[in-house]
């Protein structure tokens, strides 16, 4: 439809090369080919955002920089970012890449809170203090990189949703209570919990069910109290030191 493209923000990722043996690929050729394929599929001339999906262990920052320069100068990509990247991987890219890396897309939900857990247990012998997050949350905040939360309703690695899941009974009881209080859905409260975090994150939802959208949108407008935010964190099975 004419005019509609300018009202959309289109974001795509590249760097995972599926096949008989899946590998990660940040070569110039792969990045450019991925974008051109996305543009063809989306029937558009530009992506607003391009993210590097998962760190390529064979990454050469010079090649990424050449790919980004070409895509930017041709007007095919307007902004750039990464996903699942540590602070030092971002800094390595930045030794060559000129464009700001504006986004880091990371898994974060009420049932997947590793970005928060270890820093809360600093200097204790509790195993929650074992860091798997490389302090990426604080790093992104300090460097004005927007965290996009993916899988906001999932637990594990795409094992299923915690909403309505009997394994998360205590969490669902609090979600339902707050959904009634704020006149939204459990999905809405799960989104409100992510957005209440002071890092000013964005939430990437994957629902294919249009009836879930109004509750999710309402959730984005709700500001949970500090007590409600902590109550949900605890109900998900977390405890504070």
Ligand X SMILES: NC(=O)c1ccc[n+]([C@@H]2O[C@H](COP(=O)([O-])OP(=O)(O)OC[C@H]3O[C@@H](n4cnc5c(N)ncnc54)[C@H](OP(=O)(O)O)[C@@H]3O)[C@@H](O)[C@H]2O)c1
**Interacting residue ranges for ligand X, rule: CB under 6 A:** 53, 83-84, 105, 150-154, 158, 161, 163-164, 187, 204-209, 212
Which C-beta is closer to ligand X: that of 116 or that of 213? 213
CA dihedral 166, 168, 174, 180 (to 10 degrees): -50
Q: Could you tell me if 170 and 177 are in contact, meaning their C-beta atoms sit under 8 angstroms apart?
A: no
Which C-beta is closer to ligand X: that of 123 or that of 199? 199
Nearest CA among 95, 26, 97 for reference residue 60:
26
Min CB(24)–ligand X separation in Å: 11
Which C-beta is closer to ligand X: that of 150 or that of 193? 150
CA angle 35–37–42, rounded 5-degree value: 95
User: How far is Cα 218 from Cα 139, in angstroms, rounded to an integer?
Assistant: 29
The structure tokens 């955002």 sit at 49
What residue is closest to ligand X based on CB?
206
Q: Could you tell me if 171 and 232 are in contact, meaning their C-beta atoms sit under 8 angstroms apart?
A: yes
Q: How many CB atoms lie within 10 A of CB 24?
A: 16
Which C-beta is closer to ligand X: that of 39 or that of 204? 204
Which C-beta is closer to ligand X: that of 207 or that of 225? 207
Min CB(64)–ligand X separation in Å: 17
Q: Which two tokens stand for residue 187?
A: 């999905």
Which C-beta is closer to ligand X: that of 65 or that of 190? 190
Min CB(211)–ligand X separation in Å: 9
User: How far is Cα 103 from Cα 123, in angstroms, rounded to an integer?
Assistant: 30
Min CB(171)–ligand X separation in Å: 13
Min CB(41)–ligand X separation in Å: 15
DSSP type of residue 112: B
Min CB(187)–ligand X separation in Å: 5
Q: Could you tell me if 215 and 187 are in contact, meaning their C-beta atoms sit under 8 angstroms apart?
A: yes
- Which helix (H) or strand (E) segment holds residue 48: the answer is strand 47-52
């Amino acid at each position: 439809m004419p005019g509609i493209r300018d009202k959309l923000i289109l974001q795509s990722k590249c760097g995972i090369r599926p096949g008989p043996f899946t590998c990660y690929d940040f070569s110039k050729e792969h990045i450019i080919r991925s974008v051109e394929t996305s543009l063809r599929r989306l029937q558009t001339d530009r992506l607003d955002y391009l993210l590097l999906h998962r760190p390529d262990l064979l990454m050469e920052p010079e090649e990424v920089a050449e790919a980004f320069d070409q895509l930017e100068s041709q007007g095919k990509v307007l902004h750039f970012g990464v996903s699942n990247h540590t602070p030092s991987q971002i800094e390595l890219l930045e030794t060559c890449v000129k464009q700001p890396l504006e986004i880091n897309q990371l898994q974060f939900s009420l049932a997947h809170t590793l970005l928060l857990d270890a820093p809360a247990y600093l200097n204790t012998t509790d195993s929650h203090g074992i860091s798997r997050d490389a302090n990426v949350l604080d790093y992104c905040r300090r460097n004005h990189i927007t965290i996009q939360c993916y899988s906001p309703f999932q637990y594990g690695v795409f094992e299923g949703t915690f909403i309505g899941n009997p394994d998360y009974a205590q969490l669902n009881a609090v979600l339902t209570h707050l959904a009634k209080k704020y006149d939204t859905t459990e999905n809405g409260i799960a989104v409100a919990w992510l957005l209440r975090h002071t890092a000013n994150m964005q939430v990437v939802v994957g629902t294919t069910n249009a009836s879930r959208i109004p509750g999710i949108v309402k959730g984005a407008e709700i500001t949970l109290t500090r007590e409600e935010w902590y109550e949900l964190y605890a109900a998900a099975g977390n405890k504070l030191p």
